[in-house]
Amino acid sequence: MAAPKAIGRRRALVRNYELAYIVRADLAEDAIQASVNSVTTLIEEQGGEVVRTALWGKRHLAYPIEKMREGYYAISAVRLEPGKVTEVDRGLKLNSNIFRHMIILHDASEAALGAVASSPPPDDLDSSDGDREGRRFNRDADQEDQADADSDPLDFDDQATQFEEE
């Protein structure tokens, strides 16, 4: 029996990904930009395309990573073949200027993919003590409102008990 013939060349499947990475903040501004450009080059060498890159700037980390407390955040919308993701991941691990990265499969359309990378960065989670005090004040006010709501002013049984005690 003869081997089946290939009817046509299989077209490569390209998927949309979101790549988030953190560059060392102790680098000079031009070195940070060079690191971002090296990520773009890495993706293009693997046959991918960087649709858009959003630079979120220097941010305080939630906890120290490799003795660093700050990092320069960047988010890229990427189109890439699924088999090439591991090569991009390996290249990012070898880049000493990038100390954290994450590649996420993005199921949305290409237009939505570009919107992801162009979205503005979230507000800093670091807040001053005054802001925390404001949250405590609001929480206390909410608890007082709940206590007031729990005591129904039209509850005559409760009022009758008060008169009997006097």
Say what the pLDDT of residue 107 is.
Answer: 79
Rounded average pLDDT over 142-156 = 55
Highest mean pLDDT among 23-27, 114-118, 128-132, 141-145: 23-27
For 5, 106, 108, the CA distances from 52, given in Å and listed in that order, are 41, 14, 15
Q: Tens of pLDDT along 90-129? A: 999 999 999 999 999 987 665 555 565 556 666 654 444 4
Rounded average pLDDT over 48-62 = 94
Confidence check: pLDDT of 75 > 50:
yes
Say what the pLDDT of residue 129 is.
Answer: 43
Q: Identify the weakest region by mean pLDDT among 9-13, 131-135, 142-146, 156-160.
A: 131-135
Enumerate the H helices of 95-128 as residue ranges: 110-118
Give the DSSP H/E element, type plus range, for residue 153: none
Q: What pTM does this model have?
A: 0.63
Select from 3.40.50.720, 3.10.580.10, 3.40.50.150, 3.30.70.60 the CATH code of 15-118. Answer: 3.30.70.60
Contact residues for 51 (Cβ-Cβ < 8 A; gap 6+):
16, 76, 77, 78, 79, 110, 113, 114, 117
Say what the pLDDT of residue 106 is.
Answer: 86
d(C-alpha 76, C-alpha 132), whole Å: 33
Confidence check: pLDDT of 22 > 80:
yes
Average pLDDT, the chain: 77
Q: Where are the domains of the chain?
A: 15-118, 129-165
